Amino acid sequence: MSRLVPPHGGGALKPLLLTGTALAQGIEKAKTLPQVRMTSRESCDLIMLGIGAFTPLDGFMGEADWRSVCEKTHLANGVFWPIPITLSVSTEQANSLSLGQEVALIDDESGEIRGLMTVQEKYTIDKGLECRSIFQTEDPEHPGVQKVQEQLPVNIAGPVQALSEGEFPERYKGIYMRPAETRALFEEKKWHQVAAFQTRNPMHRSHEFLAKIAVETLDGVLVHQILGKLKAGDIPAEVRAEAIDVLIEKYFVKDTVVQAGYPMEMRYAGPKEALLHAVFRQNYGCSHLIVGRDHAGVGDYYGPFDAQYIFDQVSEEELRTRPLKIDWTFYCYKCQGMASMKTCPHGKDDRLLLSGTKLRKMLSEGEQPPAEFSRPEVVAILQKYYASLSSSEKVEVKLHKAATG
C-alpha cells in the first residue's frame, strides 16, 4: 500500500483524459458538435482536469459549487476547494445551447479540439463577489481580477472528457509530468514525504535555500514550475527549466530533487492560490508545500505571509498537503551565508535583499547580479537569454506593481 498522501477528496486519482479507441472516437464525435471556444486559462484548466490534477472534480463547476467555493472554500458536497474552475460563454451562445446537449471544447488560440462537455447548467455569476472572495480586491489593475472581469457573461457547467494536452507534452518534454507519473516516481525513489516548491521564476540562492531546508527534513523535493501563460516580462519556462536543471545538478545531492512542470496559468490570488497549489500538489503525491514570502502574490495586494496564515484556517482532514512555512530568506554578509529572519540577528544593511523583479531589471539592462544572490551557472543562462532579446522585448518592470516570488 502506498505511503504517499492520498489524492484530494479521499478517493483515487480521477483523470478525465480519453485514450486509445475512446480518444479517437471522441475526436470524431467532437467534429460534429457545436463548438465552445475556451480562453487560455480555461484550456489549461481543462488539461488539469484531464490529467487528474484537479481530482475530484469531474468538469467545470455549476452554480452551487461556484458559490460555495467563493463563500466557504468548499464544494457544495463539502470537499475543500479554494478557487472556482469555470467556463464562460456569450449570452447568445448560452441561449443556443440546451441542457443535456454535448459540445466540443476548442482552444481559442490554436483552434484545436481539446475536449467534450455535456451542458448541465447555464448561470450568471456575481463577478464582484468572486473577485472579493478570491483576490480580496476588485481593483482592475490586479491581473486575476482582470481575467474574471473579462469572462463572458454566462457560465456553462457539466462533466468533461479531455481529448488533448495541447502543446505541453511535446514542448516541455522531460519536465511535463502528470500526477500518476510523479506518484510512480516517488514510489520508485521510496519517497513518502515530499515537498513541492512552486515557482514561476528561475531559482536563485534564496529559493535553493528553501528547497534545501525541505531536503533536510523530508524525503525529497519536487521543484514544480508553472508552464501556462505568465505576464509580460517573465522568463520563459524553457529558460527557467535549463537554469533549474543546472542548479540541481551542481548544488544538490543526487536524487533529492526532481524538476517537473504543470499546465496551469497563474491567478496571482496570493493566499487562496497557495491553497489551490496545495490541493493539486496533493494529487501529485506531495505531503507538503513550501510556502515562503508572498507566495503567488502580486504587487502589494497581500501581506508577505498571508499565504502562510491562511493554512491555519484549514484542517488536515480538509487538506492533507500541509504548508512548510519558511520566513524571508537572503544572504547575510555578517553570517557569511544564507539565512532567514528567524535565524539571522543582523540588520538590513548586512542582508542582500534582491527580488526576482529587480534581478530581471538588472539582467535586461546588462548588469551583473551579486554572486551571493544567484549561482554563476544560473546567471550565465539568464544572461544568454536576455542577450538574445531585442530592445523592444526587454519589458520594463514597474517595481511597485510587479509580481514577486
Is 306 exposed, middle or buried (CB count within 10 Å of its CB: 0-12, 13-18, 19+)? middle
Let me know: does 207 contact 199? Beta carbons within 8 Å. Answer: yes
Let me know: does 262 contact 289? Beta carbons within 8 Å. Answer: no
The CATH number for 20-165, chosen from 3.40.50.720, 3.10.400.10, 3.40.50.300, 3.30.420.40, is 3.10.400.10
Is 225 exposed, middle or buried (CB count within 10 Å of its CB: 0-12, 13-18, 19+)? buried
Confirm whether 20-165 and 172-262+266-393 share one CATH topology. Answer: no
Going by pLDDT thresholds of 50, 70 and 90, the confidence category of residue 260 is very high
Average pLDDT of 245-260? 97
- The beta-strand segments (E) located in 11-74 are 35-38, 59-60
Give start and end residues of each alpha helix (H) in 151-265. 168-171, 179-189, 205-217, 237-251
Q: Could you tell me which residue, 361 or 128, shows the higher pLDDT?
A: 128
Q: Which of 178, 183, 201, 351 is catalytic?
A: 201
Q: What is the pLDDT of residue 402?
A: 39
- For the question of residue 41 being annotated catalytic, the response is no
Mean pLDDT of the chain: 94
Whether residue 404 has pLDDT greater than 80:
no
- The three-class DSSP label of residue 80 is strand
**Start-to-end C-alpha separation, the chain:** 37
Please state, in angstroms and rounded to a whole number, the distance separating the CA atoms of residues 351 and 336.
10
The CATH number for 172-262+266-393, chosen from 3.40.190.10, 3.40.50.300, 3.40.50.620, 3.30.2270.10, is 3.40.50.620
Q: What is the pLDDT of residue 18?
A: 98
Q: Which residue do the cell numbers 441542457 mark?
A: 99
Going by pLDDT thresholds of 50, 70 and 90, the confidence category of residue 394 is low
Let me know: does 179 contact 4? Beta carbons within 8 Å. Answer: no
- For the question of residue 201 being annotated catalytic, the response is yes
- CA 189 and chain centroid, separation: 24
pLDDT tens digits along 159-208: 999 999 999 999 999 999 999 999 999 999 999 999 999 998 889 999 99
pLDDT tens digits along 327-384: 999 999 999 999 999 999 999 999 998 766 677 788 888 888 999 999 999 999 999 9
Whether residue 326 has pLDDT greater than 70:
yes
Q: What is the pLDDT of residue 195?
A: 98
Q: Which of 114, 178, 200, 205 is catalytic?
A: 200
> Please, what is the Cα angle at 54 between 51 and 59, to 5 degrees?
90
The domain ranges of the chain are 20-165, 172-262+266-393
Whether residue 255 has pLDDT greater than 90:
yes
